[in-house]
Amino acid sequence: MLNSLDLAKPPAETRVVVAMSGGVDSSVVAAMMKRDGYDVIGITLQLYDHGAAVHRRGACCAGQDIHDARRVAERLGIAHYVLDYESRFRDAVIERFAESYLAGETPIPCVECNRSVKFADLLETARDLGADVLATGHYVASRPLANGRRGLFRAADPERDQSYFLYATTAEQLDFLRFPLGDMAKSETRALAHEFGLTVADKADSQDICFVPNGRYTDIIERLKPGAVAPGDIVHVDGRVLGRHEGIIHYTVGQRRGLGLSVGEPLFVLKLDAEKGRVIVGPREMLGTESIRLRDVNWLGPVALDALPPEGLEVAVRVRSTRQPCPAFLRRDAEGVEIVLASAEEGVAPGQACVIYDGVDGRAQVLGGGTIRATRPVPMRETLGEGAVA
C-alpha cells in the first residue's frame, strides 16, 4: 500500500522536509503533513540581507517571514531550522540577474532560484537530513507516470498555477519532490490555515522580487555593478536617432511609457542592443514574434529531444507567467531548439522563460522549457527602407 505521498512506507516512518517560506501556502503544507502522521521537519532559508525588508508587505524570505515560519513550526510541534543561504543565493541568483539585465535581457530570478537553490542545494540538505521527500507550497501538480518516474503538471487552480516558474525541475528532482497543494484552490488553502489555527492564515501573498526591497531592480544592478550602466541612443527601427537613455537596464521589450520621446506617434521598445548600448523602438505592429530560439533547455517529455520526429512536435507554450499556453510547434535542428508560434506573441524578450506543455488544457503536463536566447519578429523590414536597424 502506498501512502498519500506515493511511497510504500507508513507515514510515521516517512520523513518529510517542508520548505517553509513563512507564507500561508508552505505553512499549510507543513500542517497537512503533520496531520497525516508524517515525520516532519521544517526548513526556512535566509536568502538575502533582510534588514530593509523586515516589515515590507509582498516580499518573501525576509526577517518577518522567518519569524512567521518559526511560529508555525512551534504550533505544529515540529523541528525547524533556519539555514543561511545568502552567499549561494547571491552568486546563483542575484549576480546572474544583474548580468542578464546588463546583457539586454529580461531575466526571471524565481526560475533560477528554484533551479539553483531550492531544488538543488536545499534538496541535498533534505537528503542529508534523511528525508524521503521534500515538500513545498507551490501550486503545481506532480503525478506518477507510466514509466515509473513522476511528471509535472499544471495546478488545478489556473489563477495560482506556478508551473511556469518550475519548468527547470529535472526528472531526478521530481522523483524526490512533492507539491501537496497542486490539486487545491487558494481558497481551500486559506480555509485549512484557519482550521489549523495558523497565525499566517490571512497573510498577504508574496508578489515582488524578494531581494528588491523598494521595487526598483535598477538600484540593485547599479549597486552590484557600479559603472556598468552606460547611457546610449534611443534609435527608431528605421535608423533615426530619437534621443538618449541612461542605461538599457531601465527598459524592457514591449515598454511604451517612460521613453521620454515626443515624435507624434506611439512607440514601443522592440529590442535592447547591449553590444552597442542602444534601445530600439518602433510601432506596436513590430512587437510581434513568430519564432523563438531557446538555450539551457530542460526536457521532461516522454520522448528524448534528439528522438523527436524530423517534422517536429505540436505543443503549447507560455512566454509570460501571466499568459495562458498557446499552440506552437517545437523543432530541433543544428542550432538547437526552436519554437514556432501558431500566432504571433507580443513583448517576447531574451532572458524570459518559454515553458512547453503537451496541450492548452488546464491540467496539461509540462514537457520542459528553456531561456529565450533569440526571437524572430514577424517580417516587416521591407517597409522600412535601407536604414532599418537589424
Distance CA 292, CA 305 (A): 17
326 carries an active-site annotation: no
Give which of 254, 255, 250 is closest to 220, Cα–Cα: 250
Amino acid 163 reads S
Which 3 state secondary structure label does DSSP give 340? strand
Q: How far apart are CA 347 and CA 250, in angstroms?
A: 16
d(CA 341, CA 81) in angstroms, rounded, equals: 46
Please, how many CA atoms are within 13 Å of residue 84, restricted to the half-sphere of its CB?
A: 2
- In whole angstroms, give the CA distance from residue 176 to residue 174: 5
For the question of residue 210 being annotated catalytic, the response is yes
Alpha carbons 33 and 31: distance in angstroms, whole number: 5
Find the catalytic residue in 61, 110, 113, 354.
113
Residue in 60, 61, 110, 210 annotated catalytic: 210
Q: Is 226 left (phi over 0), alpha (psi -120 to 50) or beta?
A: beta
Annotated binding site for ATP: 19-26, 45, 137
The alpha carbon of 166 is separated from its chain's Cα centroid by a whole number of angstroms, namely 6
Name which of 388, 389, 342, 341 is nearest 372 in CA terms.
341
State phi, psi for 287 to the nearest 5 degrees. Answer: -80, -15
R_g of the chain, CA atoms, integer Å: 22
| C-alpha grid cell, residue 213 | 526591497
Q: Which residues are catalytic?
A: 113, 210
